[in-house]
Structure 1
Amino acid sequence: MPTLFSHPVVAIALKPWFDSIRGSKTVLFVGVLFTILPDIDIIGFRLGIPYTHLFGHRGFTHSIFFALFSSGCIAWLMSRRCSLTVSPIWLFLFLCIVSHGLFDALTNGGHGIAFLSPFSNERYFFPVQPIEVSTLNIRRFFEGQGLAVIISELKWVWLPGVVLFLCGYFYRKKVRQPESVHTEKRSG
């Protein structure tokens, strides 16, 4: 899996595209939490749940169904509590949480992702797996494997995240310009 430092890049990279959401700082915070939420399943290791079990690591909490359900519930609650429109919040949160499984499916280790859980526990990887898998053991991460993982994530997660963020930022900036600015540029 990518590290807990890299999954949140998605929420930050998507933020300019969802800047019109009122209360967007709160939504961004929840989005950051949602990018790492699927890894709550690592608790299963302590409970004796096997890796390949429905509720094992990269199982149900990494599925599209879980992403749809959890983002829908939280978006609905946030819209009720804060008088916000539910659909942009839902889409933002869905993209944040589903990105976790998508990135994990791009890694070169572990078991695949149960995208279709709870309907199927079959695990999938993408045909191309350019992201160096990170160990769940912190000591092992810092004793050797960590640098390769960080370099891999900078290339395959952070760099595309920066590009996505900048595209959204400049798109929003252009959209927000008053009509007179567009007119002056064309006539001048």
Structure 2
Amino acid sequence: MASAFAHALAAVAIGKTLPAKSTSAKFWILGALCTILPDADVLMFKLGIPYEHVLGHRGFSHSLVFALLLGVLVTAIFFRSIKLTSKQGLLLILFFSLCTASHILLDALTNGGLGVAVFAPFDNTRHFLPWRPIQVSPIGIGNFFSEWGWRVIKSEVVWVGLPSLVYILFISIFKLSKNRTTFIKH
């Protein structure tokens, strides 16, 4: 898995695509939590559920179905005043679903584990992308503060941090130029 830091950074990059008026502290916190929540499945180890089981690590909670369900659930619970089928409701569902789905992408880019059950519950086959440059993160906070954890951080700076920053910069410049064009026309 990629680390929680890399997953949360994905939420920031995705969220920067939306207009600033659409965002709030709650929006950012929930987006970051959606990127991290799929890894709560490590608790299944404690229940005796093996890694390769559909409910095991990188199973159903790492699927596109789960991403969509979580996007709907988060929007319905935390944005009750917004109708789910409205433009704003659908945008929030899309955002939270994309944040969750970004977890799938980042984990599929790591160099360890058994892969990701992208299409669960319909197909529990685990998948990786053909190119896997991200160093897999150790499970557990204590294990993260080690030489292995340092290798993960260096890998994520290159393969997640820099692309995210470039994307955020590109989006910011695009929004700024769009705002200037709109301002000049009026």
- Fold-level match, TM-score > 0.5? yes
CA distance in 2, matches of 1:182, 1:25: 32
Q: How many angstroms does 1:79 deviate by?
A: 4.4
Q: How many angstroms does 1:150 deviate by?
A: 0.7
Q: Is the 8 A contact 2:115 2:126 kept in 1?
A: yes
Unaligned runs of 5+ in 1: 184-188
Change (3 A) 1:126 1:164: same
Partner of 2:19: 19
Q: Is the 8 A contact 1:21 1:88 kept in 2?
A: no
Change (3 A) 1:87 1:21: farther
Change (3 A) 1:66 1:21: farther
Q: Is the 8 A contact 1:35 1:97 kept in 2?
A: yes
Partner of 2:62: 62
Q: How many angstroms does 1:75 deviate by?
A: 2.3
CA distance in 1, matches of 2:23, 2:143: 40
SS of match in other structure, 1:7: helix
Change (3 A) 1:121 1:20: same
Q: Please list, as runs of the form range in 1=range in 2, the aligned pairs for 1:20-169 lying within 5 A after superposition.
A: 20=20, 22-82=22-82, 85-169=88-172
Unaligned runs of 5+ in 2: none
C-alpha distance after superposition, 1:82-107 (max 9, x if no partner): 56721111111111000001100000
Q: Is the 8 A contact 1:14 1:168 kept in 2?
A: no
SS of match in other structure, 1:114: coil
Paired residues, what number? 183
Identity, % of aligned pairs? 39
Change (3 A) 1:2 1:180: closer
CA distance in 2, matches of 1:171, 1:101: 27
Partner of 1:186: none
Structure with higher RCO (Cα < 8 A, 6+ apart): 1
Q: How many angstroms does 1:178 deviate by?
A: 5.6
